Chains A and B, each alone.
Chain A
Amino acid sequence: MENNEIVNIKGLIKRYPIGGGFFTALNGIDLVFGTGEFAGLVGPSGSGKTTMLNIIGTLDSPSEGTTHVLGHSVGDLSQKQAAKLRKIHLGFIFQTYNLLPVYTVFENVEFPLLLLDMTHGERKNAVLDALKWVGLTDKIKSRPAQLSGGECQRVAIARAMVKKPAMVLADEPTANLDAANSHHILQTMEKLNRELKTTFIFATHDDKVIRYLKRKITLEDGKVVQDETS
């Protein structure tokens, strides 16, 4: 593995048991992602984008082949080791934001830091910085129910970014947003990628997102059919 490689996938196959047989979601994927990439897995529903993102995010494991994330083989990680990798190095952004409804914006963004060994002061500074990146410092006491969809996704970005992870995995981050909010979100992520050198990997079929991607990997029926860098 080269030094600037953050993800290295070789011969990845993922099968799910269905009925008496198996459904192959990913079929022989070979891919490498470098540090600081702004890449996307694109393709229609059922093409295997989210499955691949989950494997890269160590939430799922390969059936065959190898996937190395930050030098760790996903298939060989124990549940605790995978959780530790996610806790320190990975950030997630979901289509439905997945904010904790009973927490304020500040508490939502602070949550990943509570899992790390940080003091209250360090956490507070980091949260305020993250909220500054996404332009939500005036909403720190609001709860998710009091925010618009765009604001919720910005909180989710701040939460994913607050610990300055090596890589952020975003699954259809703009699917529930209008065009204006989508562009705002993407510009924010593009800026963070540029300034913090954080790797972003998207799973999307939204043209608005695709336009921002510097690398576009097209999947169809679990196979990479195109990999183009702009």
Chain B
Amino acid sequence: MSAIKLALRNLIGAGLRTWLSVLVLAIILILVIWQYAIIDGWDRMAIRDMIAWEIGGGQIWTADYDPFDPFTLEDSHRVIPQSFNDEIEKGNMAPILITQASIYPGGRIMSILLKGIDPHQQVSELPTDKLLEEGEDIPAIIGTGMARDSKLNIGDYITVRWRDVDGTFDATELLIADVFRSNVPAVDNGQIWIPLENLQEMTQMPGEATLLVMDQDYAWEGEEDGWILRDHDYLLQDMRDMIKMKKVGGSVFYIILMLLAMLAIFDTQVLSIFRRQKEIGTYMAMGMTRGQVVRLFTVEGAMHALLAVTLGAIPGIPFLYWMAKVGYSMPAGSDTMGLPIAETIYPAYSLGLILSVMLLVIITTTIVSYLPSRKISKMNPTEAIKGKLQ
């Protein structure tokens, strides 16, 4: 006997009740796959963008540097060792000097990080070639986020004030040479990029840097006093933690949806076992063992999930394929979250993701179906045939 065949007959015969449960399960299945794929896609894009724009193949920090503590900047600068200079010459490293500064856009004061970078560098996607413009003015590049916050455009001059290595204030004007678009807030928000030599001169820190970004194809394995290697694991950890939290947060919503669907299936099963006592007794009279009847009812319940997987594929595959093509446009304002977020996120589907979500739904549904079905094994067939509640 094929329990699946019988269960399928019973389910199709049950009509609307079956299809409602299947519909809810199918929607949940598609949404869960889509949501996890979006987060995975975001994760991948964020990592790729961070590597391309900010962290390269890793960074080497001065020992005191802490990007989350601006007070450390005062001491976070050192003369670039010769071994590093050799790598900079080869294009394997790009030095960056960072100092705090203030600008005065529209007559108001705004604290920023002034970052000096080698205009010839090829390690980051920052358009530092725009810093090569010749002339009296000091060229600067900013991101679109910074341009929006400070209302600066290409060609604008902005007054910047900073303190040099001795703590003496000084000020000058910068020419906005370019506004670049990046998904990585860490190279955009509250930052102005100028040529490294200019900043070294302004701060009286010749030949010094705060950190060095390594090329993606280069791995530094040496040791330099006062410099610390920060690899991808370290530099991406915070972002990965945040994305993981987003994933957990999103999961709560789908767990609630799943619980509702499972409750509906549990309820349907309990109701079925009460309503179909006569049918259960008839099955036994015709020669089915109690175990076979329990299996039939369990398979019937589990078939909701199998039908949801099968029928959910009809709208699900085109929908998920279409989303993979057009991507998901992030709502306005999401770029201020501090995480690298592209305007459009393309979901990343993997076989593992799809199979694990499908298995989760099928296994959960089967367990939920089995629990009430166990009652059948205690039924007296002579009472069941008469349809007496037991």
Contact = CB atoms under 8 A, between A and B. Distances in A.
Given A59-B382, A114-B1, A84 B13 contact: no
B289 A79 contact: yes
B263 interface: no
Interface in B247-280: 278-279
A92 to B, nearest CB: 5
A211 interface: no
A86 B382 contact: no
Nearest to A54: B382
A79 B293 CA distance: 13
B287 A94 contact: no
A101 B385 CA distance: 14
Interface in B282-338: 282, 284-290, 292
Contact of B286 (A96, A101, A112): A112
Contact of B285 (A86, A88, A102): A86
B284 A87 contact: no
A79 B282 contact: no
A102 B5 CA distance: 13
Interface of A: 50, 54, 57, 59-60, 79-80, 83-84, 86-88, 90, 92, 94, 96, 98, 100-103, 107, 111-112, 114-115, 159
Contacts, number: 65
A88 B287 contact: yes
B359 interface: no
A98 B14 contact: no
Given A96-B278, A98-B281, A98-B282, A115 B288 contact: yes
A112 B381 CA distance: 17
Interface of B is mostly: helix
B173 to A, nearest CB: 83
A206 B12 CA distance: 38
A45 B382 CA distance: 16
Contacts of B282: 92, 94, 98, 100
B219 interface: no
B14 A102 contact: yes
A98 B9 contact: no
Interface string B340-354: 000000000000000
Contacts of B382: 50, 54, 59-60
Interface in B76-108: none
A88 B287 CA distance: 8
B10 A83 contact: no
B237 interface: no
Nearest to B381: A59
26 contacts: A50-B382, A59-B284, A59-B285, A59-B381, A79-B290, A83-B288, A83-B292, A84-B287, A86-B284, A86-B285, A86-B287, A90-B287, A94-B385, A98-B278, A98-B281, A98-B285, A98-B385, A100-B279, A102-B10, A103-B13, A114-B1, A114-B2, A115-B1, A115-B287, A115-B288, A159-B286
A115 B1 CA distance: 5
B13 A86 contact: no
B363 interface: no
Most chain A beta carbons < 10 A, residue from B12, B279, B281, B382: B382
Contact of B289 (A80, A88, A90, A92): A80
Nearest to B10: A102
Contacts of A159: 286
A140 to B, nearest CB: 15
B6 interface: yes
B286 A92 contact: yes
Contacts of A94: 282, 385
Contacts of A54: 382
B13 A114 contact: no
A101 B381 contact: no
A50 B278 CA distance: 16
Given A59-B382, A60-B382, A101 B13 contact: yes
A60 B384 CA distance: 12
A100 B12 CA distance: 13
A98 B384 CA distance: 11
